[in-house]
Structures are given as structure tokens and as C-alpha cells.
Structure 1
Amino acid sequence: MAQETGTGQAAKRTQESLGRVHFIGIGGVGMSAVARIMVARGVPVSGSDAKDLPVMADLAAAGARIAVGYDAANLGDAQTVVAGSAIRADNPELAAARAAGLPVLHRSEALAAAMARDTAVAVAGTHGKSTTTSMITVLLQGAGLDPSFAIGANVPALGVNAASGSSPVFIAEADESDASFLNYRPQIEVVTNVEPDHLDHYGTAEAVYESFDRFTALLPADGLLVACADDDGARDLARRTRERGTTRVLLYGTSPESDVILHDGGRGALTLETVTGRYDVELQVPGRHNALNAAAAALGNFTGAARRFEYKGEGCGVRVYDDYAHHPTEVRAALAAARSVAGDHRVHVLFQPHLFSRTREFAREFAEALNAADTAWVLDIYPAREDPIPGVTSQLIADHLGPNGHLVGPGADAVQAVLAAAGPGDIVLTAGAGDVTAYGPLLVEALTAGIPGA
């Protein structure tokens, strides 16, 4: 990261106090979400990114001043700078901002400022944040409200990943990866699950749990924590929060101890049991994990967030889906969803590990999750913000794969390998947080021309 996570002081500010705001890395999904909201609320916004991304044209049309490529001159007359997590310290715009003594905020601090005047609902957890945030937003819209929202994925049901609404409610995905969710000051928190991840930042599992404790401690006395009783980490977090006695706690899940009990009838048929009665729900996205997410939001009319088991197309009877899964638990959940859709047919997965540090920590667990597929191919590691770690490659995962698991090269090699094994009725899943998502359209295109090797 170019800058350390902030101290939370931005949570005490309003967006108006930031003045003219410049976003370095404005094309990122999280950065563009905050920028979109500020533009909608009349804040003068400028921004830049290394590449000309589609969202930048949308922001320009909305009134932001956009530049492609980084240059100190892009700062213009900015009074506050927001820098994305991937921005390095030697970025010319960041260096110029620091030299000029301008406030430099983490994205979460800028979002906290945007939410400062609203009733904030922050959705956190190791997995399921984007989907659950989306579900809550759609639920409130269906109830006649017009909430503001900021989500770490594009959501077809909403049309965009962020918007400024007319009601004083703000729904935000709260990212725990670098502890930046501690910059928010929500009135309601939803925690889907708590597992060790992002150990490149935290170092130990205990530090992860402690960070979530600090997150729930941010709730006011009249606040509310909504946590999943089916997840050990979230349930323990709820117990510790209750023991502090500083805020209300509500549990959801299939466990009898839940305040909202989920009865999953399969194939999207759910019943939610509460103190006020039982409610039938028809969910349009597969998988038990999505049923739990729906229980958190008490919502059925939801068609999914982008890259969360997103249907990409089909050809020759083979259906292709894409999922952001980049942790072993997420990979298992995505494959379970794929299995429920495939029925008696086979499931094939093309997986791209994300981060060298995560691959090092969870290589065996990734392999065990991938072994649930009928065939699994593993691409090279997507480095994202990290430099290579000696000895850490995708081979660490391959060492623990079953007989139907293989390493595969990029591009045409990967496409041909996957499609050579896929037959009518099968499901192909691309999974990972990197550019593996680009393989979905390539696979669909190849399928329409016939399956190689079939």
C-alpha cells in the first residue's frame, strides 16, 4: 500500500469538509464507488488511473475530471487526495500530494466521510460481503426506500456498484483485508463469517479475530450486530460482543439458537422463521452460502452480484460461470453451488490463485477445495499488489491435487484444456480474484464453435 490505513479521523468529517477531492486509481471498483457517490452529492471530483477503464467514462459524464496516466499535474487544485491500495509510494501524484501537505486518505476514510451524515449499515466478513450488501440494498429498495450504497462488485440487479440515494441510509461493504473497516462508524453491522485470511497484513489468526472485535466495538449503545450463527468465527464474535454488553446482537442461520432461523428446502426455496412469524422466500442464486446471505438480508428477489457465481453464457450444452472465490472456503462454496446446478453432470474449474502470501498460507486447503470438482486446472498466481516470494508458485497447490487436478498455462492452453474435458450438461467455473474472469467470455466463444477434443 502507498499509505497506512488511517486513524478513523475521516469518519468525523463530512464529505463537504474534504473540499475538492482527487482519486488516484479512480478506475478501481472500490475507488470508483466512492467517487461516484461524491460526484452525485455535488463534491468536485477529479481522478486518474493507469488505464482507460469503462467506469472512468461514466464518471466523466457525471461531472468528474478524468485523466489517463499518472502525472503530478493531474492533482490540479485538489484539497484532499484519496489513494487506492495498489498505489505505490513513488507514484508521482501521491508524491506531489505529500510534498504539498495535502491530506491523503485511504478509500475507506473517504467512504466514511461520505457516510458521516447517514445511518450506516456496514457489511463485513471473510466471504459473502458483496452479495449480502447487494441483497440488503435490493431489499430496502423493494421496501420503498432509496438507500445510498457502495459495493465492491458491479451488481446487475442494481445496475451500478454505488449510488447516492434520497433516504438517510447508507449500505456499505466493509473490507477487513487491511483493517480499513475500522475507519467506519456504523449504526448496524452485519458479519457473515470470520476466518483467518489476509495474513500478509495481520500475521496471525488471532490478530484477525481481534480486528473484528475492534470492529464490533465501534457500534454505539443503540447499535446492532447481525451475525451468522452457522459460522464458528461469527458466532464467537457475537458471543464476545454480547459479553461486553455494549450493543444489541442478533443471530441468523440454520442453528436453533438463531434469532432468524433459516429452513432451506433446496432449489432456492427458503423459509425464514422469526419471532413475528414464518416467511417463504424464493432465492434466485444457488448454494447454501447464498441462502445464509439471504437470511442476513431477509431477501429473495436477488439475481446476484458480478463475479459471484455469475452466469457468463453457454454453448454445446456447457454452461459457464464465474466467481470471485479467492479463499479456500469461498472456492468450496462456489463449487458446491456449481454442483447443485450441474445435477448429475460434471463440474470443471479453472482456478487462479490470488497473492503469493495467500497461496503460501493456504496451498493445501485450496487443493482440498478444488478436489471437489471433477477436473481442476490451476493457473499461475495473480500477484496483485505483491512481489514474488521465492519458492511460492502454483506448484504448491498442485502438489496436493487429486489425479484430475493439473497446472495449466495461460491463454489458449487453458481454454483448450478445460473445454477438452467438458461435455453437454456440464458446468465450467472460472474462479479467482485476478484476471481469470476474462476466461469466461473466451470459453463461451470457444463453445459456440464446438468443444475441442469432445
Structure 2
Amino acid sequence: MNLTNIVSNPVGIIHIIGIGGIGMSGLAKLLHQNGYVVQGSDASDNQHTKSLQELGMHIFLGHNADNVNQSTLVVRSSAIKNDNPEILAAKNKFIPVISRAELLSNMMLDGYNICITGAHGKTSTTSLIYSLLQHLNHSPTVICGGIINQINSNAHKGKSNINIVEADESDCTFLVIPTDIGVITNIDKEHLDYYRSIDNIINMSKIFIEKVLAKDMVVVCDDCQYLRQISANYVGNPKYFTYGINSKTSDVKAFNIQIGIQGFVFDLMLSKKFQQKIGSNFSVIKNIALNNFGVHNLLNALAGITVALFKGGSPDDIKAALLNNSGVKRRFSIIGEVNGVTFVDDYAHHPNEVRATLQMAKARIAQDGGKILAVFQPHRYSRFAELYGEFLHSFKDADRLLVLDVYSAGEAQINGVSSQIFVDEMSSIQEAYYCADDKLMMQLITKHARPGDSVLFMGSGSISEMAHAAVHNCFNRP
């Protein structure tokens, strides 16, 4: 990796604004591992800034013009506004200012890049592909939007030129970075504050597909209605492949699916087109075990298997690697058990993600007769408002619902949109409570949760910290 395409002179100190974000902290780690001097700033401290400090990076808390004084390059996250004092100071001092996407694309110029994008499942699929290729001894570099349990990090420098990257679609970053294999997990009504319409998301996905088809391979989910419409234009393309469960025409298709104690067991069928692509002498792989529940996780596994087979994996390699995959933090992560009640932390923050997570929770505890107490923190007023009606009908698999205040992520409040109003409407559908503070949340958990039940925390704001605090404070635990 190098940055010679960004600045003509050797890079001195790289200053990252918004370094505490999961994506920016991953880039900071990779730069550090490649010998660059990195510092950064963020509004407040969190687990990511602390992990960077442990690596020896200097982190400024708060944004101040003086923070960039020694910098020779400034990188900004997409959340940083133009009036940020560090941005203004850098421009006044003629210090180059680039976006996260520009930095990432330059870091990847010399590599063989496997990029995973889509509305949901990017992080889990990125982690899975990394685990599969690690098992195949490819020693890839990875940068992920979550903490991969296998390496306890969101980024790791490998020994080969293969880069496995979660390609953010929220601001069209996936169109900027060089891609040799492109995976699209799905298309959904997400980030509409940026795209404005689902049609714009579809069009950007088409541009991404056309770009990657000039390289090695495109892999898309056939069970997504929007991707299935796009796929109709590429049926005969020798570089375009689909995976799925429900479609009869998928190139990589799971069938004979059974749900066991630990997760799924299934068989896999490969189309003749994909067999030719990978040069295989088999069309079916039998008895693949996936230690996870939820159809969405099975689909993510199919995406990973498709890439792994293309990169030389055998059926036995695939089976062994899936058994050893330990997943990603905050993807149905069990964080504790108190008085027989299981506490789970999950990233779900979109109606479809909420539904999928609750369905998985129900499948896990159904055999034990436990109940699900869901704790949800809406993320961004714009998302909550745009998908309000869908959110109202996303929690049917929860026995009770606690709703926290909206995590604004810097957005201004929208009139008529609040957690209190949401609960008032939700109460006509199912049992729901508004929690104005942590204390009330913990009181309600203690009151309603019984041995054998699961408390499922969902959201992408500050709810993870609240979940861990609840483990230690509910049921009068010291």
C-alpha cells in the first residue's frame, strides 16, 4: 500500500477527522501497520479511539484548528461538515484534504480487491470471506465495518496483495474504489437522505456492476427483488453470478435446508456456468453446516462460498472454514447471562434488519419456550421518519418492546417524529414501552425478563454501551 497518488511529496503525519468511527479507525490501523504516522480527532472517546491510543496514535478529543498544525495530509469522514474548524485550518494552511473514499481507493490501487457492498449484511459477509480466504492460506488484508471476532479488530494487514473490503454504499464510496470481485448482498430503501429514491440506488448499483464486469466477477443475491430485476440483463454474461435460496435460476443455490441445534445444514448446487468459471468437476456439495441461524446469514454464507470457490477452495475447505468462522461483534452477540436471562447485542437499525434479527432470535429460543424482550434505539431522525410505517410492523416476533430516544447522529429533530409518539402508535399493535432514560429501561428489563428469556438490544448508535451496562446493573447485580 502507498499514498504516492495522493500527494507528490512523502507523507508525514496523516490526520484523520472523525477517527473514532468504525470505518475510519480501520483505515487508521492499516496505515499504522504500513508504517505511516497517524493521528486523529473525534468529538468524544469510544472503544475505537481507545484501541488506536493503545497502538500509540495520538487522539484529540474535540475538534480544534490547532489539531492539524503538524499534519501533511488530512482525511475526513463523510460525517464531517465543511465548516469543521480542522477542515478550515487545513485549507488555510494548504494541507491537502481528502475523503475516506479517496484514501481507501489509493491504498487499494496496487492490490487485488474483493469488495462487498449492499444495504444489509456487508460486514458479516466481509468477515466470512476473510475467514474463508484465510483458511485457504491467501493471507488477505481486510478492512471491515465491524469487529471481526477472529482477529478482534476491524482491520488487519495480510501478507498477500488480496484486499477484502467492506465497500460503503451510503455515499457511493463503492463506485470509487478499484474492484476485481464485487459482491452485492442486496438493495433496499436505505440512506435515502443521500440517494433520495430507490431508483437512484438501483442505478448506482448498475454502474458498480458495469465497472466490475471489466475485471473478474460480479456476485449478487438472487433473492433480492431489485437485484433479480438487474440480473435479467446479465443471464449469459460469463462474469456475472447469482446466489440464493428461492430462485430456481441461481448459479449457487442452497437446497435441502434443515435447521439444527447450532444452525443450518444444507446442500449446495452449482450452475453449469459457474462450474465452468471455477473449472469444477462437481455440481453439488452436500452437508454444509453453518453455525448460525437466520436466512440472511445463510445468504451471506452463499456469497462467501461463491467467492471462496472462485479463489480455489474445495468442498472440504468450505465446510471446515465455515465451522471455524466466529463472526462479527454486534451481530447477535451474546454479551452475558444474568438470572437465566440472556443479553444479546445486535447492530440491526433498519426495519428489514430488525425483522431478520428477531426471526433469528425466535428460532434460537423457540425450543426452550423463552420470550424475547426487544430494546430498540432508532438511529437518525431521517431514517426513522422515512421508514416509520415499516418500523411499526417490524417487531412482531418480539413479545415486548422497549424503545429508547432517537440517536440523532448529529441530525436535527423532525417535528412529529419521536420515540414517545412511536410507542403510542405501537401500543395498539403490541406491548411497547417508551424509555426516556437508562434507569427506566433497566427497571422494565428487571420487571419483565424471566429465566429462559432473551433481552435483545438493537441499533447502531450508543445502544451497545447501554447493553453492556444493563448486563451489570439489571436484577440488582453488583
State the AA in 1 paired with 2:218: L
Which sits farther off after the overlay, 357-366 or 435-444?
435-444
Distance 1:318 1:95, change over 3 A: same
Unmatched segments (≥5 aa) in structure 1: 1-9
Separation (CA, whole Å) in 2 of partners of 1:84 and 1:156? 25
Amino acid aligned to 1:249: Y
1:38 — aligned with what?
31
Structure 1 position 256 matched with structure 2 position 248: yes
Deviation at 1:342, TM superposition (A): 1.2
Q: Read off the aligned partner of 1:352 and give its amino acid letter.
A: Q
**Match for residue 59 of structure 1?**
52
Hey, what does 2:313 align to over in structure 1?
none
User: Does the C-alpha gap of structure 1 residues 291 and 15 become closer, same or farther in structure 2, counting only changes over 3 Å?
Assistant: farther
Decide whether the 8 Å contact of 2:213 with 2:239 is kept in 1.
no
Give the match for residue 141 of structure 1.
134
Contact 1:366-1:397 at 8 Å conserved across structures = no
Q: How far apart are the structure 1 equivalents of 2:58 and 2:325?
A: 34
2:458 maps to 431
| Alignment-derived partner of residue 3 in structure 1 | none
Task: Give the secondary-structure state (helix, strand or coil) at the position aligned to 2:174.
Answer: helix
Q: What CA deviation, in whole Å up to 9, does each residue of 1:137-178 have, x standing for no partner?
A: 011111112111110111212221001111110011111112
1:387 and 2:412 are equivalent in the alignment = yes
**Does 2:258 align with 1:273?**
no
Identify the match of residue 373 of structure 1 among 386, 393, 398: 398
Shift of 1:241: 5.0
Q: Is the CA contact 1:353–1:359 (under 8 Å) kept in the aligned structure 2? A: yes
CA pair 222-181 structure 1, distance change in 2 beyond 3 A:
closer
Distance 1:355 1:158 in 2: 30
CA distance in 2, matches of 1:332, 1:68: 37
Which of 282, 285, 292 is equivalent to 1:285? Answer: 292
Q: Which amino acid aligns with 1:261?
A: K
Q: Distance in 1 between matches of 2:62 and 2:435?
A: 33
Other structure's SS at 1:282 match? strand
1:414 aligns with 2:441: yes
For 1:314, the equivalent position in structure 2 comes to 337
Question: What is the DSSP-based 3-state SS (H/G/I as helix, E as strand, rest coil) of the residue aligned with 1:154?
Answer: strand
**Alignment pair present for 1:305 and 2:296:** no
DSSP-derived class of the 1:219 partner: helix
Q: Residues 321, 223 of structure 1: CA spacing in aligned structure 2 closer, same or farther, 3 A cutoff?
A: same
| TM-score, normalised with respect to structure 1 | 0.90
TM score, norm. by length of structure 2? 0.86
Q: Identity of counterpart residues, as a percentage?
A: 34
Q: 1:324 Cα deviation (Å)?
A: 0.7
Structure 2 Cα separation of the partners of residues 214 and 415 of structure 1: 47
Correspondence for 1:158 among 151, 161, 169: 151
Please tell me whether the aligned partners of residues 116 and 184 of structure 2 are also in contact (alpha carbons under 8 angstroms). Answer: yes
The answer on whether the counterparts of 1:11 and 1:109 sit within 8 Å (CA) in structure 2 is no
> Are the aligned partners of 1:364 and 1:396 in contact in 2 as well (CA < 8 Å)?
no
SS in 2 for 1:217: helix
Residues 379 and 53 (structure 1), Cα distance of their counterparts in 2 relative to 1, 3 Å cut: closer
Alpha-carbon distance in structure 1 between the residues aligned to 2:200 and 2:10: 32
Which amino acid is 1:282 matched to?
A
Q: Deviations over 1:119-151 (max 9, x none)?
A: 111101111000000000011111112111110
- Alpha carbons of structure 1 residues 324 and 61: separation in structure 2 relative to 1, 3 Å: closer
1:232 matched to which residue of 2? Answer: 225
Alignment match, 1:356: 381
Aligned to 1:327: 350
**Counterpart residue identity of residue 196, structure 1:** K
Q: How far apart, in 2, do the equivalents of 1:119 and 1:239 lie?
A: 28
Deviations along 1:288-346, one digit per CA (max 9) or x if unpaired, are 11111111112523222111111111111111111111110000000011101111221
Q: Return 234-243 or 265-274, whichever deviates more.
A: 234-243
Is 1:29 the counterpart of 2:22? The answer is yes
- Which of 432-441 and 129-138 deviates more? 432-441
What is the rounded CA distance, in whole Å, between the counterparts of 2:382 and 2:3 in structure 1?
31
**CA–CA distance in 2 between the matches of 1:168 and 1:285?**
30
Q: Which amino acid aligns with 2:32?
A: V
Q: State the partner residue of 2:371.
A: 346
How many angstroms apart in 1 are the aligned matches of 2:227 and 2:10? 35
User: C-alpha distance in 2, partners of 1:323/1:123?
Assistant: 20
CA shift in 2, pair 1:368/1:97, >3 Å: same
Distance 1:56 1:316 in 2: 33
Deviations 1:77-119 (A, max 9, x none): 4332111222233322111112233332221221111111111
Aligned mates of 1:271, 1:223 — CA distance in 2: 26
Which residue identity is paired with 1:104? V
Tell me how far apart the structure 1 counterparts of residues 39 and 344 of structure 2 sit (CA, whole Å). Answer: 35
1:172 pairs with 2:199 = no
Which region of structure 1 is more displaced relative to structure 2, 83-92 or 432-441? 83-92
Aligned length: 440
Measured in 2, the distance between the counterparts of 1:256 and 1:133 equals 26
Q: Distance in 2 between matches of 1:39 and 1:239?
A: 44
RMSD: 2.4
2:314 match: none
Deviation at 1:220, TM superposition (A): 4.5
Name the CA distance, whole Å, in 2 between partners of 1:200 and 1:11.
32
Cα shift at 1:189: 0.8
Query: Is 2:442–2:474's contact at 8 Å kept on the other side of the alignment?
Result: no
Q: Secondary structure at the match of 1:153?
A: strand
